[in-house]
Structure 1
């Protein structure tokens, strides 16, 4: 009987344990980056005892089901950290993290609070950075709307009273335990979209929250987003690196995926690509003009066969119609247009933001086709110095030295040095002219930053830079050391000096993180002394720019606004041949911009009025609209107006090395007798995230149209001996269509494919014609592959880019003798660039690459090269590469 009783008791206990055994469903923060991370995290969790495991790269959250009688959450998270993934309780060993494949290297800062195993309780409360009392619970949120929603949900679940503190991220509850429970209340709060220490809101409910309520789900509980996001941003730690002020920086930074080479910002209203330094390392990238070789949005081409400079085109139009800024201050404009891209070294660049279509009115009136903003290197998490050395087979050599350091708790500095030289005289096509000019450049910059946002709400950024660039080209027999009057050879000399000094200061009002004021100021001096054969061109430009911006809200953060005033002063003094052209432009302006955020949409509507002393009063409206059709489908619309004053000499120097005589047909304007250029730009884009090969992919299709209300046309067709400038009489337009897909078909392999179609025409004298040197069809392919890291952190990178350029309309030279004419259209061609790099550890990188490996070159880049002082000489008819395959090598060492 005793044996029977004992057996029955044991069976009963076992049955009770099985019957009442709990399977917990918990969510934890785990860092990762890609599909490989997902597989590693989930597999490790299951091996550690979890019954199910699901990790999301988007939310950085791991949801697991496990039996607490068999395993603890600490044991699971500890194993996940052991294989290389930081989480909210344990940090991965550095050696293990370094050994992960390159695509798995997530950003480790800001780190989750590190708590020892013995200090951990089973609840995620112990991870929170602030203390709380009984009946207080961590609940995520952002704004007043969140507060109302959280407190209402708590009361509907039975709480007698509820108070949520947005700063501490804590809700204080008062409830009768006989009628409800804390779990029931917190579950109800999660049901309306707010993660808390017990429950996680569903993605569908979270995604449906108003934009102002979209808190950062990747942060530790109890940490308010606005205090952490600045630390997350690559190359944006200082708030002044963004346009207007702090709050805008925080808002944009939090939506950028860390570690991506090029990221299309899902939350941005405009079509904006964030290009990191990781993308720039895929190619030689010696200066800004070469920073877009792996980017499908921008077209890069040589502008002529004598100076060797490169120009950008976007949406089918020349570089001059794109706003090119540095630190969101005017940079490459005016007299700097033809060579300014060569004056920003690639190794100085911390990041690039590229926006297609009309940009915000707070940044000015000139950007018609978009904006490209360059950010210089800044101090990140720790002091860092780096040395880069580069050389190619054409005797081009470069050295860069960069250093960032912390001066005190709030002050840090950046020192940037650059030098380059092209030594050998190369003439690979034996036409008697140098393929690229010889010369040298010395470039230096100093940046000083103060970040007191978490201290007194004040931040400031100061910068100063100077560059000296000398280039000599022309015939191989030209001697730069001899006076031109003492030799018969055709020579080209370009001497540029440029000085910039700027400051950006911002203040966030205490207790009002949505309200701030920022003030930006910059002075620029640019001087060019140049000659092209017997032609002299001297240019001098002094520019002062100031922009004051105030931002706040109407009622709540669903209704934001910016308003302010700007002032632009330009003094130009140009000498061309024997003529002198002087003018001073003063442009005070005011602007206002309103942002409306809804459940699935964002509307940004702005307008500015500028009082130009020569172009008259100009009204510039712009509108951007984003609508989330589905969770992974985004529609964007844009429309806006822009205007600019043309600098006909500086912007057309590619035609100076020719026999063409410049004529200006004046039209009653005050800038060279010409009227300003005015255009409207309209755009539509669709962004779709999808799965290919069971991996994430992004497809983007966009269409933009630019209609000129007025334009300064440079007519090359009236006569082979003339370049005539006149104002548009009729219509001028540019249609641009692009579709691009980025995806990862296999482990560590990234692919990017794009197709572009352009239709660019204008009503010239004599009828409508296509704009020359613009291919209607272009194809693009880029592939990047990284090997697995070794135990020492070494790995290989392989990158290749193929560009296919269709036929281009060429200027009409039929008045020339037959041997000096061009066909109506150029032939199609393809170029291939490739690079192999080896990272030996975190500090040493060696790379070897090639440009134009197909060795396709234009057959006759210079017309009548044997008689450069004759009637038919023309070095500006360039539509294809002029140099064959170029091999380069270099190394980077960081400390």
Structure 2
């Protein structure tokens, strides 16, 4: 680490060495230093550390590491001494004591946050390596990556059963992703540069505005003290997927440093295991370049500037498709060119009070064709925010003002004129320390949208710290979302169904309640357990949901004249044993449905329950670890094409399971490999086909009556049209993978 440099002194050769470990074995990359000096280092892959050239004296040896209690020991060192001190770390409140910022826009320990925040580290992501964070979230309880199209494989993130447009994605707290870019915001940031991923389930519009209705995902990148000098991670799979992550820390000058990250992914194999003449997995070629500049300023004031460029070329379709057929009606293909760049930063004003200016801007250009239907869109979003953080007595205040600029234009008939709007906002938050164990958070946000007028979103949160090991939280809040359909619904773009907008769409509003209980248990033998359980309820008014059922050839949008409710229970259990065995198990049971005109129906593509697990064991003597990860999804209602559609209207119970072996026997290197989708599950099981009319994607042989309804014929006895929207899981079967990681500190 840059801060802890080896310090050379004449005629003094004392050194201090040892191994840092916990109950499971060696602990790498801990901070080992002599307090109040510049002498320090980081533990290596095998847990060993060495501090050389120490002058004689009395020191306090300190070791810090996220997720562990700080280690401190007073030692005396004589000239030319060679001390060996083994260090045994004890897990702290594990997930409890991590520092989080997403819930309140302030850096607080997780146990002190009145808003429940789930935290996932790069170590979690490594247990099932994927080419993007989007895919990695499949092992997070209550969070599901949803693929929205069998052909182009674009998708979004569902939280507690709510559709992707209800999820806001941020990088370092800045809402740089929305609409067109949700899936792209979760691709292309190397794991080596990620400090942690914070997830808030439930409305957060009082702090973050529109889109943060169902929840949000905040990707927090490392600062330069914690990032490695260089890191590389490369893997390939049996399907021919290649992924490369590179991260580096560069000292530009004495007061300026840079984090550089590059991600490249390629898949160019045409595979059709379900024999429908369509690609099972979209071919992709993408690159992402990320930079984060940090500037040292007087009094440790904040100044950082980051940017990212993303480009992707992806296509899927009939096996005979080549780029010459792009946009034509001879061979069906879906081809998407995406170019996206983002800039974000934070600057603390040079005044006595803590005033922080944050800003972000993104430009998303998409040139895509779905068969012979072109969709060419541009979206630009600018965001700036000024916050004032102030403590007064037992009040911890946060006041802020934000300005958001949205520009959207496409070539569809629904957007005759570009949609351009500027939304100013004011918000205030007060966290009140009522007593030693009780705190209350009150918040309010005001937004003005020229299309919809004044929008108020209040929220409150109560935290009761029953003991150091027991925390109870009650959160209540509201959310709102302003909708642009054509940035959110893939099925609205393919041309497979006509889009009908029944009325002028008003903003969606929601009211949310969440009761959360957090329990940590320390066993006398070193066992640690963490239990996190929640009950949640969200009620939507003016909900805008796609209606696939009224007419199988249409998608009808209007404000729901009734109620839409998401409710359920969720729990995670995390246990670490001294033997080296650890597991994380989670489950969510939910009911997401709409009621209109007295008729209640389950939301389409929403599972009734889900389970996730991660079992790991560390063979210390072999320097080998094994991770078994998986998920389980209960039945969900699927978008069929009417009563005669032979495809099942509900999905079966299905599961994706993986196993990985990681070897850490060489300094700075990790070798890993395993098998993904051990059960070889794909959604075509039990179905005659997945893509309707895949042999006639332009509906040339479909007969319609004068009302537009499909007429059954000998060639089309079930009265179907081409439709790739029947999708609820990945089409990739069992496959092996192998990878290599290298890290230099």
What is the TM-score with the length of structure 2 in the denominator? 0.83
Q: CA deviation at 1:317?
A: 0.4
Q: Distance in 1 between matches of 2:20 and 2:182?
A: 45
The alignment status of 1:532 with 2:370, answered yes or no, reads: yes
Distance 1:798 1:111 in 2: 35
Within 5 Å, give how 1:233-632 maps onto structure 2.
248-249=106-107, 252=108, 255=109, 265-337=110-182, 339-359=184-204, 361-380=206-225, 384-452=229-297, 455-485=298-328, 488-507=330-349, 515-554=353-392, 556=393, 558-576=394-412, 580=416, 582-597=418-433, 598-632=435-469
Partner residue of 2:537 out of 693, 705, 710? 705
For residue 604 of structure 2, what is the aligned residue in structure 1? 772
1:684 aligns with 2:543: no
3-state secondary structure, aligned to 1:441: strand
Q: Is the 8 A contact 1:291 1:346 kept in 2?
A: no
What RMSD in Å do the two structures reach over aligned CA positions?
3.0
Write the distance in 2 (CA, Å) between the matches of 1:560 and 1:382: 31
Change (3 A) 1:294 1:334: closer
After superposition, the Cα gap between the structure-2 partners of 1:626 and 1:103, relative to the gap in structure 1 and judged at 3 Å, is farther
The answer to whether the 8 Å contact 2:192/2:227 transfers is no
For residue 507 of structure 1, report the CA deviation from its aligned partner.
4.4
Deviation at 1:722, TM superposition (A): 0.8
Q: Distance in 1 between matches of 2:202 and 2:577?
A: 31
Give distance in 1, aligned partners of 2:301 and 2:30. 27
Does the aligned pair in 1 maintain the 2:169–2:185 contact within 8 Å?
A: no
Mapping of residues 782-821 of structure 1, within 5 Å? 782-788=614-620, 795-815=623-643, 818=644, 820-821=645-646
**What is the deviation of 1:383?**
5.5
CA contact (8 A) 2:142 2:161 kept: no
Secondary structure of the corresponding residue to residue 187 of structure 2: helix
Counterpart in the other structure of 2:79:
none
Distance, in Å, in 1 between the alignment partners of 2:194 and 2:228 is: 17
Write the deviation string for residues 850-882 of structure 1: whole angstroms up to 9, x where unpaired: 322211111232122112122511111112332
Q: Which moved more, 1:488-497 or 1:393-402?
A: 393-402
SS, match of residue 416 in structure 2: strand
Aligned equivalents of 2:28, 2:742: Cα separation in 1: 20
Give the Cα–Cα distance (whole angstroms) in 2 for the partners of residues 408 and 458 of structure 1. Answer: 18
Q: CA deviation at 1:293?
A: 3.2
Q: Output the CA distance in 1 between the equivalents of 2:581 and 2:73.
A: 32
**Shift in CA distance, 577/419, structure 1 to aligned 2, threshold 3 Å:** farther
1:756-803 CA distance string (max 9 Å, x none): 11100113578321101111122222111222167xxxx222111122
- Over 3 Å counting, the alpha-carbon distance change for 1:245 and 1:269 in structure 2 is closer
Structure with bigger RCO (C-alpha 8 Å, 6+ apart): 2
Contact 1:657 1:876 in 2 (8 A): no
Match of 2:662 among 833, 837, 846: 837
Q: Distance in 1 between matches of 2:449 and 2:33?
A: 46
- The residue aligned with 2:726 is 877
Instruction: Tell me if the contact between 1:385 and 1:403 (Cα under 8 Å) persists in the aligned partners.
Output: yes
Structure 1 residues 874 and 308: CA distance shift in structure 2, 3 A: same
Corresponding residue pairs, total? 662
Q: In the alignment, which residue of structure 2 is the partner of 1:757? A: 589
Shift of the 693–869 alpha-carbon distance from structure 1 to 2, 3 Å rule, reads: farther
Q: Which moved more, 1:762-771 or 1:436-445?
A: 762-771
2:17 corresponding residue in structure 1: 93
Q: After TM superposition, give the deviation of residue 618 of structure 1 in Å.
A: 0.4
Q: 1:750 to 1:451 in 2, by over 3 A?
A: farther
Q: Is the alpha carbon distance of 1:117 and 1:498 closer, same or farther for their aligned partners in structure 2, counting shifts above 3 Å?
A: closer
- Tell me, in whole angstroms, the C-alpha distance in 2 between the residues paired with 1:578 and 1:651: 14
Partner secondary structure for residue 323 of structure 2: coil
Larger deviation, residues 574-583 vs 315-324: 574-583
1:580 aligns to what SS in structure 2?
coil
Assess, with a 3 A threshold, how the Cα gap between structure 1 residues 435 and 102 changes in structure 2: closer, same or farther.
farther
SS at match of 2:490: helix
Offset of 1:690 from its aligned partner? 2.7
Contact 2:246 2:263 in 1 (8 A): yes
1:641 aligns with 2:483: no
The 1:752/1:243 distance shift into structure 2, 3 A limit, reads closer
What is residue 863 of structure 1 aligned with on the other side?
692
Alignment of 1:66-77 (within 5 A): none
Q: Separation in 2 of the partners of 1:801 and 1:443?
A: 27
Kept in 1: contact 2:518–2:530 (CA 8 A): yes
Deviation at 1:536, TM superposition (A): 1.3
Structure-2 change in CA distance of 1:409 and 1:480 (3 Å)? same
Deviations along 1:673-703, one digit per CA (max 9) or x if unpaired, are x111111111001111235795221112101
Whether the 8 Å CA contact 2:362–2:380 is kept in 1: the answer is: yes
User: Helix, strand or coil for the counterpart of 2:117?
Assistant: strand
- State which structure, 1 or 2, has the greater radius of gyration over its C-alpha atoms: 1
TM-score, structure 1 normalization: 0.69
Task: Tell me how far apart the structure 2 counterparts of residues 218 and 623 of structure 1 sit (CA, whole Å).
Answer: 37
Taking the aligned partners of 1:678 and 1:611, their CA distance within structure 2 comes to 15
Q: Provide the C-alpha distance between the structure 1 equivalents of 2:530 and 2:317, rounded to a whole number of angstroms.
A: 46
The structure-2 alpha-carbon separation of the partners of 1:434 and 1:693, relative to structure 1 and needing over 3 Å to count, comes to: farther
From the two aligned structures, give the one with the greater strand fraction: 2
Selected match of 1:724 from 542, 556, 577: 556
Partner of 2:315, secondary structure, is strand
Find the partner of 2:566 among 716, 727, 734.
Answer: 734
Q: CA deviation at 1:615?
A: 2.0
Decide whether aligned partners of structure 1 residues 606 and 103 sit closer, same or farther in structure 2, where only a CA change above 3 A counts.
Answer: farther
1:415 CA drift (Å)? 1.2
Q: Deviations over 1:144-176 (max 9, x none)?
A: xxxxxxxxxxxxxxxxxxxxxxxxxxxxxxxxx
TM-superposed deviation, 1:835: 1.5
Distance 1:420 1:481, change over 3 A: farther
Question: 2:715 corresponds to which residue?
Answer: none
Cα deviation code 1:528-571 (max 9, x no counterpart): 111111211111111110000011122x3x31101121000001
| In structure 2, distance between residues paired with 1:775 and 1:786 | 34
CA contact (8 A) 1:294 1:801 kept: yes
Q: Deviations over 1:444-463 (max 9, x none)?
A: 122110133xx434220011
Q: Counterpart of 1:154?
A: none
Query: SS at the partner of 1:291?
Result: helix
**Unaligned 5+ runs, structure 1:** 1-89, 121-125, 130-215, 222-231, 256-264, 668-673
Q: What are the residue-to-residue correspondences of 1:118-137 with 2, within 5 Å?
A: 119-120=57-58, 127=60
CA contact (8 A) 2:189 2:262 kept: no
Compute the displacement of 1:220 (Å).
8.8
